Chains A and B, each alone.
Chain A
Amino acid sequence: DAGVTQSPTHLIKTRGQQVTLRCSPISGHKSVSWYQQVLGQGPQFIFQYYEKEERGRGNFPDRFSARQFPNYSSELNVNALLLGDSALYLCASSLDSYGYTFGSGTRLTVV
C-alpha cells in the first residue's frame, strides 16, 4: 500500500509569490491534516479536513488556505509568501481521529 504522498518534495519561491502543495492520503483515509515544521521545532497544526469539510484551523494567517477533494486528496495554498514561511510542510492522513500517518513533507524555501 502506498503511504501518504506529498508533492513536490522541494521547491524554492520568491517573496510575494504563491505556492500550492499537494497531498494524497492513504487509501481509505478520509482525514487529512497539514502541519508546518520549522527547523528545530515540533510540527505546528495548520488545517484538518474530514470528508471534505474543514474540521480545524490553527493559528495561521489568512494567507494560508486549504481544501480537500472528493477523492480525499488535499491542497495547501499559501499566498504572498514571506521569508518566515520557509519550512517543512507535512501532510498526515488518518482513518479516524487517531493514528496519524505522515508523508515525507515538502521543503519550501522562500528567498
Chain B
Amino acid sequence: EDQVTQSPEALRLQEGESSSLNCSYTVSGLRGLFWYRQDPGKGPEFLFTLYSAGEEKEKERLKATLTKKESFLHITAPKPEDSATYLCAVHTGGSYIPTFGRGTSLIVHP
C-alpha cells in the first residue's frame, strides 16, 4: 500500500528563519510527487511537480527537491504570508489517484 508521511506536523518559524519540510514516501513506481499549499478553509493550491530523483523546482522563497525516498520543501527567509498548510501527494504508475500526506502546518511569526 502506498504511504506518504509528512513531517513535522506543525512548524513555527520567525520571519527570516529558513527551514525545510519533509515528505517521505513508500510507493511502487513513482510517476510524480506534488506539493500544494492550502490556506484555512480553501482548496489546495498547486506549487510543484517533481518526476525523478535529483530534480529541483523553485518558486520565490520555495524550493522543492526529490530523492528516491523523500522530498523536501525548503523555505528560505519565510514571511508571515507563507503561513499555510503544505501538502505532499504522490502519484504512482498503478493508479490514476494521487495519495496525500496529512500536511505540515507552517506558521511564520513577524
Chain A interface residues (CB < 8 Å from chain B): 4, 31, 33, 35, 40-45, 48, 50, 55-56, 58, 88, 90, 92, 97-105, 107
Contact = CB atoms under 8 A, between A and B. Distances in A.
A92 B96 CA distance: 13
B43 A105 contact: yes
Interface residues of B, number: 25
A93 B15 CA distance: 35
A43 B100 contact: yes
B11 to A, nearest CB: 15
Given A4-B43, A35-B100, 19 more contacts: A33-B97, A41-B102, A42-B6, A42-B87, A42-B100, A42-B103, A43-B44, A43-B87, A48-B97, A56-B95, A90-B43, A97-B31, A97-B91, A98-B32, A99-B49, A100-B98, A101-B46, A102-B45, A105-B43
Contacts of A35: 100
Given A42-B87, A107-B41, A99 B100 contact: no
Interface of B is mostly: strand
A6 B35 CA distance: 22
B42 interface: yes
Interface of B: 4, 6, 31-32, 34, 36, 41-46, 49, 87, 89, 91, 95-103
B71 to A, nearest CB: 15
14 contacts: A45-B98, A45-B99, A45-B100, A48-B97, A56-B96, A88-B41, A92-B43, A97-B91, A99-B46, A99-B49, A101-B46, A102-B44, A102-B45, A105-B42
B3 to A, nearest CB: 12
A56 B36 CA distance: 22
A45 B97 contact: yes
A78 B99 CA distance: 22
A92 B97 CA distance: 11
B52 to A, nearest CB: 14
Nearest to B43: A102
Contacts of A102: 36, 43-46
Given A55-B96, A98-B91, A42 B46 contact: no
